[in-house]
Amino acid sequence: MISLASKAKCTGCAACADSCPKNCIEMKYDNEGFLFPSRDTQKCVECHMCERSCPIVTDKKVERTEPQAAYAAKHLQKEVCGKSSSGGAFAALAKVVLEQNGVVFAAGMDSDFHVYHSRAATLEELKPLLRAKYLQSNMTGIYRQIKEALETGVPVLFVGTPCQARSVKLYFGDATNLYTGEFICHGVPSQAVFAEHIRHVEKKTKARVKKYDFHTKRLSWRRNTIHIQLDNGKNLDTNSYNNPFLYGFFKNKILRRSCYDCQMRTVERTSDIVLADFWEIREVDKRYDDYDGVSMIIVYTERGKKLLKSSEKYMKCNEVSLDDVISCKKNLKPRSYSMAGREAFMRDYMTKGYEYAQKKHLEPAAYKKPLKYLKDSILVLLRKK
């Protein structure tokens, strides 16, 4: 009998679906907007490959390692930095792999605002994979694509959430040409709620949303602004703390169930490199503060160290205190989130609809950060003079 992870623990990594030799597992969205495996019992031959590939139920474990060093990093090309969410570290690491005729796998967003992991073999193909997407990517088919790339012997870079990176490491073991990266993750919000949010914006503006940027630098990296482009030519730039969807994300009201007690929220990690926005750079080392964006890089393995060293021709890296980095990043330490807000929101969303649930639970007024926002706004204006 096949026994996959429960809905409370399943991370939606899709390793079970890709491992199935009979293609009898499909990743489907549930009514809350999260991907879960759906198994066709008529096609299933109970080979148990899906169980062996599932990080939750398998007996195999992926080794976790302690961090070696931490860095503040910024891409040397201002244009690349501007197209990235923080300092452009991912772009630099990816370029090194592409220069070696390798391939990169990371998350991109399609025209319907669904997020999928995609393959990039050129700098042009890499462009849609830059910038943060505050949604969980669909990994269906990616393990098979990674396998094909690894078998050719070219270097492969995979970057995703910590649980996705763990699944890739479990799936491929210690493949010598595989580099894995992950970002420090707060959790993944509902795709269905995001779709409702898009419809709400379109209803309010009487225009279609053409582009949604979760973190624009149009004003400044530190302004933490969402940019929405409409088909009537207008643009909406909103502070993320005043955006209903981001409010629900920050306040843990719309996350996947497994995120509330995430087993990957530790200092020890399974990837070669960990990436993050270095919002706290002022607290760690003011010399490297930058309004165009700064990336945090934490190296965990010799393989990660080698990749970082190769990428230094494209970005400036300054070593910072590892202890300070661990101290300032809450999600590098074990902690759980309360599910009370989530249960209340989802209950009203399911029974009374999104408009009611947003008004009642995703009202961001109480979550404004006026002093911080005002301080950064003044500094941005002074910087432009």
Confidence (pLDDT) at 283: 81
For 320-348, write each residue's pLDDT tens digit: 999 999 999 999 999 899 999 999 999 99
- Gap between the Cα atoms of 129 and 360, Å rounded: 34
Interatomic CA distance for residues 93 and 97, integer angstroms: 7
Q: What are phi and psi of 222, to 5 degrees?
A: -80, -10
- Per-residue confidence (pLDDT) for residue 218, from 0 to 100: 66
Q: How many C-beta atoms lie closer than 10 Å to residue 143's C-beta?
A: 24
Q: 41: alpha, beta or left, given left = phi > 0 and alpha = psi -120 to 50? A: alpha
- Which pairing describes strands 178-183 and 273-277: parallel, antiparallel, or unpaired? parallel
Which residues in 262-277 are b (16+ Cβ under 10 Å) and which e?
bebbebebbbbbbbbb
Q: What is the SS3 assignment for 40-70?
A: CCCCCCCCCHHHHHCCCCCCCCCCCECCCEE
Q: What is the pLDDT of residues 259-269, one digit of tens each?
A: 999 999 999 99
Name the residue with tokens 């950060």. Answer: 369
3-state SS, residue 115 = strand
Strand pairing class (209-216; 273-277): unpaired
Q: Quote the CA–CA distance of 295 and 75 in Å, as a whole number.
A: 9
- Coil, strand, or helix at residue 306? helix
Instruction: Give the per-residue pLDDT at 282.
Output: 78
Which of 188, 194, 195 shows the shortest CA–CA distance to 256?
A: 188
Q: Cβ atoms within 10 A of the Cβ of 153, count?
A: 11
b/e 195-231 (16+ beta carbons within 10 angstroms → b): bbbbebbeeeeebebeebbbbbbebbbbbbbbbbbbe
Measured between alpha carbons, how far is 61 from 167 in angstroms, rounded to an integer?
10
Q: Is 248 exposed, middle or buried (0-12, 13-18, 19+ CB in 10 A)?
A: buried
**295, two tokens:** 């990336």
Whole-angstrom distance, CA of residue 139 vs CA of residue 26 = 11
Q: Is the dihedral of CA 330, 332, 338, 343 positive or negative?
A: positive
Return the sign of the alpha-carbon dihedral for residues 95, 332, 132, 382: negative
Give me the tens of pLDDT residue by residue for the chain, a chain 385 residues long.
888 999 999 999 999 999 999 999 999 999 999 999 999 999 999 999 999 999 999 989 899 999 999 999 999 988 888 788 888 999 999 999 999 999 999 999 999 999 999 999 999 999 999 989 999 999 999 999 999 999 999 999 999 999 999 999 999 998 999 999 999 999 999 999 999 999 999 999 999 999 999 987 666 666 678 899 999 999 998 888 889 999 999 999 999 999 999 999 999 999 999 999 988 887 887 777 677 788 999 999 999 999 999 999 999 999 999 999 999 999 999 989 999 999 999 999 999 999 999 999 998 764 455 555 555 555 445 544 4
AA identity, residue 7: K
Burial class of residue 93, CB neighbours in 10 A (0-12, 13-18, 19+) = buried
Q: Can you give the pLDDT at residue 385? A: 45
pTM for this model (two decimals):
0.92
